[in-house]
């Protein structure tokens, strides 16, 4: 499902116009980005948790030259699904 298909899927059951559904989806995405950038997490009970994980600096290899390189530490977004979502996917 791409973004426009998701907007249609939101608009139909919510009795929203596609424009309203699109603005709502954009606002949700922006809120998640802003919250994670601030270092906070978002928990939607039953659905899951959006959070930021720290990845430590580590050694790696350049696959072309075989030369050892250092891969810098980074923060990466993560999502941990909740029980209801897991049950819906597996049920």
Over its length of 91 residues, how does the chain's per-residue pLDDT go in tens digits?
999 999 999 999 989 999 999 999 999 999 999 999 999 999 999 999 999 999 999 999 999 999 999 999 999 999 999 999 999 999 8
The reported pLDDT for the residue numbered 91 is 82
The reported pLDDT for the residue numbered 69 is 95
The reported pLDDT for the residue numbered 12 is 93
Q: How far apart are CA 38 and CA 34, in angstroms?
A: 6
Residue of 74, 37, 79 lying closest to 56 (CA atoms): 74
Model pTM score? 0.80
> Apex CA 77: angle with CA 72 and CA 80, to 5°?
130
Residue of 53, 33, 49, 30 lying closest to 41 (CA atoms): 49
């Amino acid at each position: 499902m791409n973004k426009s298909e998701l907007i249609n899927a939101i608009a139909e059951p919510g009795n929203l116009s596609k424009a309203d559904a699109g603005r709502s989806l954009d606002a949700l995405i922006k809120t998640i980005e802003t919250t994670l950038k601030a270092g906070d997490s978002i928990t939607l009970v039953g659905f899951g948790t959006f959070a930021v994980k720290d990845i430590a600096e580590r050694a790696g290899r350049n696959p072309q030259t075989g030369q050892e390189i250092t891969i810098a530490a980074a923060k990466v977004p993560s999502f941990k699904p909740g029980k209801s979502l897991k049950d819906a996917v597996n049920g």
